[in-house]
Amino acid sequence: MGLGALIAAHGEDDGGALHALVPLAGRTLVEYQARCAAAVGAAPIVVLVERVPPALQAAFERLRGDGITVIPVSDGNEAAARFDPGLSVLQIADGVAPAPSLLADLADADDRSIATVPDHDGFEAFERIDDRHRWAGVSRVDSALLAETARMLGDWDLQSTLLRRSVQAGARLVPVGERSAPFIAAAGQDGDAFDQHLLRASRSSRKDWPSRFLLPKVEDFLVARAMATPLRPGSLLALALVLVLGAALLFTRGEPLWALGLLLLASPLDSVAERLATLRLQPLPRSSLLKRLIWPAHGIALLGLAWFETRHGGGWGALVAAASTLTFAEATRVERGGRDLPPDLWLLSPRSALFLAVPFAMFGWWSALLVTLAVYAAAGFFVIQHLVHGAERD
């Protein structure tokens, strides 16, 4: 199913200035919102605004200069007409700066979803849904519900009405962690508050145990240094890919320790690139080829190690173990289907496999490592399969 985005930009402050034009890190709020939507593959990106002042038009032109086309509309019916039937739509509230990771999670959802924050101190600026939840300013609806809501609106507010109708239609409420909570740019916070929000948001995608427990300080150090340079996130991804492929070559040449060293050097680079892109208000697109190639490159490195072990005493069992590891890891990804599940932190990932390899490397137990990774991947698959299909049976 395709994905579009609807950004509300009609709100004004007491002085009559649009919330969409609030300056954030040298850009405007609407530019940040549109870039985040584009990064998760949303198209078209429709901006609901009653008038387009010169400053807003200039923001649209800057976006078009970067290859992001936005379509301004003045009412709900015109907005609904811009989305094809059957299209899912990311709804982004007026004045809200969402974390890129939050939009990515909703983009991966397969049903109507509403991101929520708890109804307690610290979240008073968010719109209340019920006595326990407030709207985090981002939701996933479908174009049919949007069209029906626009037809019945009259003088009602599209943003709030669409939220209420989504709740009534049984949309899934998705609690948002504190790190992924959106920033209310229209609530009077200064630029420093937004910088801190971006820093928290850039840390929210740590989904394996090495990233959560071993690499944070390394990442923070590298991000701080990279922010002071013109280094591009894409260059970091390219470097990570080159290091991983170099490690694969070294594995086949019988230099596993040097290969492991290159993999350790590469391990934080993709996360640093994502955080750097977020902090520069240009989130990496999900379709980034470099980003998508890093996982297969790790698979090639694993097969390179297995190939060397097969030819030097490990037998065909080494290749079978490596192939099983990759098969179970991919099957686990398919079974998850984008769901956030409790064991996610402990599932096999390139980084968890790498750091698990360190104690085996100290003793030269490479064949034992391959068998251990196969068991690890298989266990993760069966756990996820049980959780997913057990939930479906319930």
383 and 278 within one domain: yes
Q: Which band of pLDDT confidence, cut at 50, 70 and 90, is reported for residue 179?
A: low
Cα separation of 37 and 59, whole Å?
15
Identify the pLDDT of residue 194.
73
Q: Is 102 helix (H, G, I), strand (E, B) or coil?
A: helix
283 and 149 within one domain: no
- Average pLDDT (99-111) is 84
Instruction: Out of 166, 198, 230, pick the residue that ends a domain.
Output: 198
142 and 108 within one domain: yes
* In the chain, % of residues over pLDDT 90: 61
227 and 191 within one domain: no
Asked if the model's pLDDT at residue 166 lies above 90, the reply is yes
Asked if the model's pLDDT at residue 196 lies above 80, the reply is no
Residues 6+ apart with CB under 8 A from 333: none
Instruction: Out of 165, 198, 231, pick the residue that ends a domain.
Output: 198
Domain count, the chain: 2
182 and 230 within one domain: no
CATH number assigned to the domain comprising residue 180: 3.90.550.10
In this structure, what token pair is assigned to residue 334? 């398919």
Q: Which band of pLDDT confidence, cut at 50, 70 and 90, is reported for residue 205?
A: low
Instruction: Out of 175, 198, 221, pick the residue that ends a domain.
Output: 198
Q: Which band of pLDDT confidence, cut at 50, 70 and 90, is reported for residue 319?
A: very high
Q: Is cis: bond before 72, omega within 30 of 0?
A: no
Q: What are 258-317's pLDDT values in tens digits? A: 999 999 999 999 999 988 988 887 888 877 899 999 999 999 999 999 999 999 888 899
Structural domain for 311, as ranges: 207-393
Residues 6+ apart with CB under 8 A from 71: 44, 45, 46, 47, 82
74 and 109 within one domain: yes
Identify the pLDDT of residue 182.
82
Q: Which band of pLDDT confidence, cut at 50, 70 and 90, is reported for residue 65?
A: very high
Where does residue 108 rank: exposed (0-12), middle (13-18), buried (19+ CB within 10 A)? middle
Identify the pLDDT of residue 2.
86
266 and 214 within one domain: yes
The enclosing H or E element of 6 equals strand 3-8
pTM above 0.85, yes or no: no
In this structure, what token pair is assigned to residue 267? 């391990």
158 and 220 within one domain: no
- Average pLDDT (164-176) is 90
Length of the chain: 394
214 and 89 within one domain: no
266 and 156 within one domain: no
Beta-bridged to residue 24, according to DSSP, are 27
Asked if the model's pLDDT at residue 391 lies above 70, the reply is no
* In the chain, % of residues over pLDDT 70: 92
274 and 155 within one domain: no
Mean pLDDT of the chain, nearest integer: 89
CATH number assigned to the domain comprising residue 234: 1.20.120.1760
- Average pLDDT (191-212) is 74
Identify the pLDDT of residue 120.
81
Cα separation of 277 and 284, whole Å?
6
